[in-house]
């Protein structure tokens, strides 16, 4: 993990920037950043998935698992729920192109762009398996809980995703 002060959270980077002349100024894949207000962010690669789902800031992402089959990779994420195993990785801060690198928020309070599929204040939430980029109530014991609804009508949730 790289130690640094400040982060360009809404920025996105191309694969060439991670290896080219700018590589010294780009975070490392998997790096964590904790902000002054105790929100935690993780540096990952965004993939559009089979449904070619464009990245939208404020949308939930899951760990990339082509056709729902995990490859064990935890630094690739997507909003395409058909290419996840339903495990919430975090919420996009920026909107990178597919194959681009960006920060996702993994801890702390965040306001989502899309509304919750279901849920009320205080409900445990999981990645929706039917609607790309959003969350739903975690109803089964097998659901991977990654957030809690703080104010469901305002789309404010408290994240606690895997680091």
Domain boundaries, the chain: 12-160
pLDDT tens digits, one per residue of 108-143 = 999 999 999 998 999 999 999 899 999 999 988 888
pLDDT tens digits, one per residue of 33-73 = 999 899 999 999 999 988 999 999 999 999 999 988 888 88
pTM (predicted TM-score): 0.91
What distance in Å separates the CA atoms of residue 162 and residue 74, rounded to the nearest whole number? Answer: 9
């Amino acid at each position: 993990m790289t130690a640094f002060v400040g982060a360009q959270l809404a920025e996105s980077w191309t694969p060439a920037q991670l290896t080219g002349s700018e590589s010294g100024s780009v975070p490392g894949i998997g790096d964590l950043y904790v902000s002054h207000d105790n929100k935690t962010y993780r540096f990952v690669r965004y993939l559009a998935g089979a449904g070619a789902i464009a990245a939208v800031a404020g949308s939930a992402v899951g760990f990339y698992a082509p056709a729902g089959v995990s490859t064990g990779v935890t630094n690739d994420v997507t909003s395409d729920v058909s290419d996840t195993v339903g495990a919430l990785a975090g919420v996009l801060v920026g909107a990178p192109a597919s194959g681009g690198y960006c920060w996702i928020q993994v801890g702390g309070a965040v306001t989502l762009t899309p509304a919750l599929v279901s849920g009320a204040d205080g409900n445990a939430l999981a990645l929706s398996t039917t609607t790309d980029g959003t969350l739903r109530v975690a109803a089964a014991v097998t659901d991977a809980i990654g957030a809690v609804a703080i104010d469901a009508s305002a789309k404010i949730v408290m994240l606690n995703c895997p680091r």
